[in-house]
Amino acid sequence: MADPAALYRGSAAGKVILLGEHAVVYGSAALVVGLDGGADAAVRAAHSSELVLGADRYLIGPAAAGEEPLTARAFRALLAALGAPSVAAEATLAIPAGAGLGASAAIGVALARAVSALISASGPASSSVASAALAWENVFHGNASGVDTAAAEQGGCLSFRRGQPPRALRPARPLELV
């Protein structure tokens, strides 16, 4: 059983899509690079679920999904995908939100990793970090391709095609993005 006072942590990379940003949605390949900075999350067991994201606090209660803010619905979807108990979570960003650097995916992956760590303290997790983070992303984007969550989860340089596992690429020299 998980220690109720323990704090479980997760982190994730941001991303830059170098090629194929819009085409990846339609099944074409994309070249994506994970950024060193992204998001960090910490969770602990709680009586009811809540998420603190910056100055915003989202209580995850019995409200109908249509009445909740998108972030609360996304967190509910992530928790459901993992079969998670109630948790109190806090996430922080090291990249700017809304700049195309995969902030929402980084938060989703960091939260999924932290919640999975809490669940594994009691037994095996029921779902993968990738599928839980994609459930989070689908609330925001409808039918996310998965490229952002793949980069957030794996980091490094990847070739990504929707519906296939990402393939790690090893550049001949380190990439420096300016």
Annotated catalytic sites, by residue? Answer: 148
Count how many Cα atoms sit within 13 Å of the Cα of residue 92 in the half-sphere of its side chain.
5
Closest CA to 109 of 22, 10, 7: 10
Kindly calculate the radius of gyration of the chain based on its CA atoms and give it in whole angstroms: 16
- List Cα–Cα distances, 4 to 27, 69, 80, in angstroms: 43, 28, 20
Assess contact for 109 and 153: CB atoms under 8 A.
Answer: yes
Strand, helix or coil for residue 91: strand
